[in-house]
A and B are shown apart, each in its own frame.
Chain A
Amino acid sequence: MTVEATDKTYLADPLDDRRWSRWIPYVAALLATALFVFDTLSPMQFAIAVLYVVVIMMIASTCGRREVIVAAIACVVLTVTSYVVVHGFHFEDSAWVRSMMSLSAIAITTVLALRNLSTVKVAQERARLLDLSHDAIFVHDLSGNITYWNRGAEQLYGWSSDEAAGQQPRELIRTVFPMSHEAIIAEIHQTGRWEGELIQTTRDGRRLTVSSRWALQRDDQDRPLAILETNTDVTEQKRADAELRRSERRYRNIFDAAGVSIWEQDYSGIKKAIDALRRDGVLDARGYLEQRPDEIARLKALVRTMDVNDATVELFGAKDRSELLGPISTVVGADGDAGFVEVIDALFRGETTTSSEAVLHTLAGDNISVLFNMRLASEPEVMNSVLISMTDITERHRFQEALDRANSELAHAARVATLGELTASIAHEVNQPLAAIVTNGEACVRWLSRQEPDLGEIRANLDRIIANGNRAAEVIARLRAMAKKTDPRYEPLSLNEVAEQAAALVDRELGIHGAQLTVDLANPSPEITGDRVQLQQVVLNLLLNAAQAMNGQPRDTRLIALRTIDGQDGPMIEVSDTGPGLPPEIASRIFEPFFTTKANGMGMGLSICRSIAAAHGGELTTVEKSEPGSTFRLILRNRQ
């Protein structure tokens, strides 16, 4: 038995043999019987028993090992029986020799058949294994004809092994090679294998990309015999890869070409720190961090910049990307902490996006204001890729600051103008305690120079001098605050205090106008955030307007009510008068700049008051009321 024969055996489709192979044992038995009869009865001087070899081979071709052994024993028994029947127990002549030859032939054939059987079995199992493979495996001989076609190939290409047998793969599945076929053959003959990608077409016309591995089969003499081709369908994988590459390229393009600065940062260290904070029972990351600048610095050091785009390089004045990679401390200074805490707080709360403003440093050393947007790009559970996009709003901030400054200057100018109107009452406010001090002092001297100085009176005089000195100082301080030109300072305030202090400033002026002021304060006082001086300015303006509105009417009807209210819409201050009220055509224009009903008014007061209200996130409006007169309402935000 040759290897070639073995190959043929395993390459033959076992299904084809089955139909007639079933009959072979019977044919063999028949043949054995015929040989026995012939051997026993024929007078021929010929080793007819040698032909038992055929019986054994027939059995071997269809049956297993046991059957072969049984057949061999049967053949030996038949041969010996024939000899004994014909020759009796005489063992010396040529017949004995012939019989021994036949027995030897049977034995040798049996041994060979048994050995062959085991080889065939291995080959068949191997073939079954090949069928189990998901890969398409086929063999083509050196002339290119398909000699084997496994189940994977049937499934992949759509042709059965019968249909494929004898066909050329280049025609059947229209294989397209990445290089010339000859070169591949040359390589495989040289090295025994080839690997590459092929394009092939299935029975229903689908074009496949397969990863192909070729192996050259050689016979015992190392002569090339056939080529085993194993193909794995990578069409889908190729498509997915291409799609992924395209998508990555697209995002890379967007990343690079975007006009906004984009940072990709690794927050996985932060993630661990956040988990640790949670374990320590921290509930409010913002509150926790704001108390601990050291902790902020520690967390900042955990963030790594992995990539930035061109816009970032330009915005931060870097020579190239690498200058901005790594620790973020190069751009996030102490004034950037607030923005950083925003991000940490959002991540702590499990949010995947947040946006806020921050002040950052460029590499050139400038400060820039940015509006940033943080987004967890992938794997939010590890936070290893956080995308932060930034828009430079420095210019906008500068513009806003200039606008704010202009507003604040205008408000200041208006305040000073108002104080100018109040000169008479202000002079009185200062003069009054001075007069009291002088008179007390003089009285004191007189009490001292009496024959028996009255120490009680002297002491009372001195106490009054001190009290009045302080009173004068307070008036001056109030005035200075109003006249001072400072940037607005937003701080927690008691609304009642604001109202009372404003009322104190104009109380006398209202008296000069003959108006009577009643103050009605909310209890407890609403807490607000605001600029004390500017809010007082609003109240002061409203009070003066109210007094002036009632100038023409009898004294006892000139009433002003100043109220603080903790309303549903927020804390508010209301100023009502009992004047003629606002006709609709005036009410609608009263907040316009340069609109005035006063002969010598500039028309800026209420306009400025309204912008002060707006700067506080509040509103200044007129309120329709059933009672006569007009009411102005300043609504403010609650203290945060």
Chain B
Amino acid sequence: MKPATTTAPNPLVLVVDDDADIRDALSSLFRSIGYDVKVFPSAADVLTASLPETPSCLVLDVRLPGVSGLDFQTQLSRSGINIPVIFMTGYGDIPMTVRGMKAGAVDFLAKPFRDQEMLDAVSTALEKDRERRALDGVASALRSNHDTLTPREREVMALVTKGLMNKQIAGELGLSEITVKIHRGNVMRKMNARSLADLVRMAEALAGR
């Protein structure tokens, strides 16, 4: 719905369906509002394809020959690919919907669907992917900062973010209070933290991974 800006790369919709007619129809629909589209007859073909680093989502038939759509979803998340998934089904049943939604599907559309439903679902999924990508950007900066810390500095950071005083940390680690202060200063600098609260949030984000 939201026409992509010409400067940024177009969002990409990946369509997986064993039915060529459905693939072609969806491709045309998505292109008509300016998305890029890649179509695949099976899940295996998606895994071997090289995908650009651009907001994208996967529109997937739940019944696919070979690996089913649901199995494929599990496979993707297991291999750490967090692309949002929209399921289509010709004959949607409750257990499948539940499983798919639990596994984090953005939406579950029964064929035939209204184009608006599909486009809304895709738009939501793309937005989600964009956020995820942004989040992924922050998280990876945080992680690389964290990677620059020395082992001692990491210990200090962990204890600081637990809310311990410098004195307590010194006692815990068998260091002088001065040394702890230096480490703490390094941590704040290396992690680019503006305040203790900032650092605590970073620690939480790191732990959440």
Measured CB to CB, the residues of A under 8 A from B are 424, 427-428, 431-440, 442-444, 446-447, 450, 454, 457, 460-461, 464, 467-468, 471, 511-512, 516, 555
Query: In the complex, are the beta carbons of B115 and A442 less than 8 A apart?
Result: yes
The CA-CA distance from A457 to B31 in the complex, in Å, is 10
The CA-CA distance from A595 to B61 in the complex, in Å, is 38
Kindly list 4 other residue pairs between chains A and B, CB separation below 8 angstroms, not including A427-B91, A434-B112, A460-B24: A442-B115, A443-B25, A461-B25, A516-B65
The reply on B159 being an interface residue by CB < 8 A is: no
The reply on B128 being an interface residue by CB < 8 A is: no
Q: B32 to nearest A CB, angstroms?
A: 4
Set of chain A residues within 8 Å of B114, measured between Cβ atoms: 442
| Residue in contact with B112 in the complex, picked from A424, A438, A444, A511, CB distance below 8 Å | A438
The reply on B111 being an interface residue by CB < 8 A is: yes
| Residue in contact with A447 in the complex, picked from B19, B28, B66, CB distance below 8 Å | B28
Which residues 79-127 of B have a CB within 8 angstroms of A? 88, 90-91, 111-115, 118
The CA-CA distance from A457 to B65 in the complex, in Å, is 29
The reply on B22 being an interface residue by CB < 8 A is: yes
The CA-CA distance from A428 to B112 in the complex, in Å, is 10
Query: In the complex, are the beta carbons of A467 and B29 less than 8 A apart?
Result: no
Query: What 1/0 flags go to B13-25 for Cβ under 8 Å of A?
Result: 0000001011011
Query: In the complex, are the beta carbons of A439 and B32 less than 8 A apart?
Result: no
**Closest 10 CB pairs between A and B?**
A435-B111, A442-B115, A439-B25, A435-B112, A446-B32, A443-B29, A436-B21, A443-B28, A438-B112, A428-B90
Q: What are 25 A-B pairs with beta-carbon distances under 8 A?
A: A427-B90, A431-B91, A432-B90, A435-B22, A436-B19, A436-B21, A436-B22, A436-B25, A437-B112, A438-B113, A438-B115, A439-B25, A439-B118, A440-B28, A442-B29, A443-B28, A443-B115, A446-B29, A446-B115, A457-B28, A460-B28, A464-B21, A464-B24, A468-B21, A511-B65
The CA-CA distance from A512 to B61 in the complex, in Å, is 13
Query: In the complex, are the beta carbons of A447 and B63 less than 8 A apart?
Result: no
Query: In the complex, are the beta carbons of B21 and A433 less than 8 A apart?
Result: yes
Set of chain B residues within 8 Å of A438, measured between Cβ atoms: 112-113, 115
Q: Tell me the number of A-to-B contacts counted with CB atoms below 8 Å.
A: 82
Residue of A nearest to B30 (CB): A443
The CA-CA distance from A432 to B26 in the complex, in Å, is 12
Q: A547 to nearest B CB, angstroms?
A: 13
Set of chain B residues within 8 Å of A437, measured between Cβ atoms: 112
The reply on B205 being an interface residue by CB < 8 A is: no
Given contacts A424-B91, A464-B21, A467-B21, contact A431 B28 (CB under 8 A): no
The reply on B138 being an interface residue by CB < 8 A is: no
Set of chain B residues within 8 Å of A460, measured between Cβ atoms: 24, 28
Set of chain A residues within 8 Å of B32, measured between Cβ atoms: 443, 446-447, 450, 454, 457
Q: A89 to nearest B CB, angstroms?
A: 166
Set of chain B residues within 8 Å of A461, measured between Cβ atoms: 25, 28
Q: B165 to nearest A CB, angstroms?
A: 60
The CA-CA distance from A460 to B114 in the complex, in Å, is 20
The CA-CA distance from A466 to B111 in the complex, in Å, is 18
Query: What 1/0 flags go to B28-54 for Cβ under 8 Å of A?
Result: 110111000000000000000000000
Q: B74 to nearest A CB, angstroms?
A: 15
Residue of B nearest to A449 (CB): B32
Q: B112 to nearest A CB, angstroms?
A: 4
Query: In the complex, are the beta carbons of B22 and A432 less than 8 A apart?
Result: yes
Set of chain B residues within 8 Å of A457, measured between Cβ atoms: 28, 31-32
Residue of B nearest to A447 (CB): B32
Set of chain A residues within 8 Å of B66, measured between Cβ atoms: 555
> Which one of B22, B25, B115 has the greatest number of beta carbons of chain A within 10 Å?
B25
Set of chain B residues within 8 Å of A440, measured between Cβ atoms: 24-25, 28
The CA-CA distance from A427 to B89 in the complex, in Å, is 11
Q: B27 to nearest A CB, angstroms?
A: 9
Query: In the complex, are the beta carbons of B33 and A446 less than 8 A apart?
Result: yes
The CA-CA distance from A508 to B115 in the complex, in Å, is 25
Q: B18 to nearest A CB, angstroms?
A: 8
Residue of B nearest to A448 (CB): B32
Query: In the complex, are the beta carbons of A428 and B63 less than 8 A apart?
Result: yes
Q: A456 to nearest B CB, angstroms?
A: 11
Residue of B nearest to A430 (CB): B90
Q: B187 to nearest A CB, angstroms?
A: 52
The CA-CA distance from A126 to B90 in the complex, in Å, is 123
Query: In the complex, are the beta carbons of B29 and A439 less than 8 A apart?
Result: yes
The CA-CA distance from A442 to B65 in the complex, in Å, is 27
The CA-CA distance from A555 to B64 in the complex, in Å, is 13
Query: In the complex, are the beta carbons of A511 and B28 less than 8 A apart?
Result: no
The CA-CA distance from A432 to B31 in the complex, in Å, is 21
Residue of B nearest to A516 (CB): B65
Set of chain B residues within 8 Å of A436, measured between Cβ atoms: 19, 21-22, 24-25
Q: B194 to nearest A CB, angstroms?
A: 48
Q: B25 to nearest A CB, angstroms?
A: 4
Set of chain A residues within 8 Å of B118, measured between Cβ atoms: 439
Q: A522 to nearest B CB, angstroms?
A: 26
Query: In the complex, are the beta carbons of B29 and A435 less than 8 A apart?
Result: no
> Which one of A432, A435, A438 has the greatest number of beta carbons of chain B within 10 Å?
A435
Set of chain B residues within 8 Å of A434, measured between Cβ atoms: 111-112
The CA-CA distance from A450 to B113 in the complex, in Å, is 22
Set of chain A residues within 8 Å of B26, measured between Cβ atoms: 439
Query: In the complex, are the beta carbons of B91 and A428 less than 8 A apart?
Result: yes
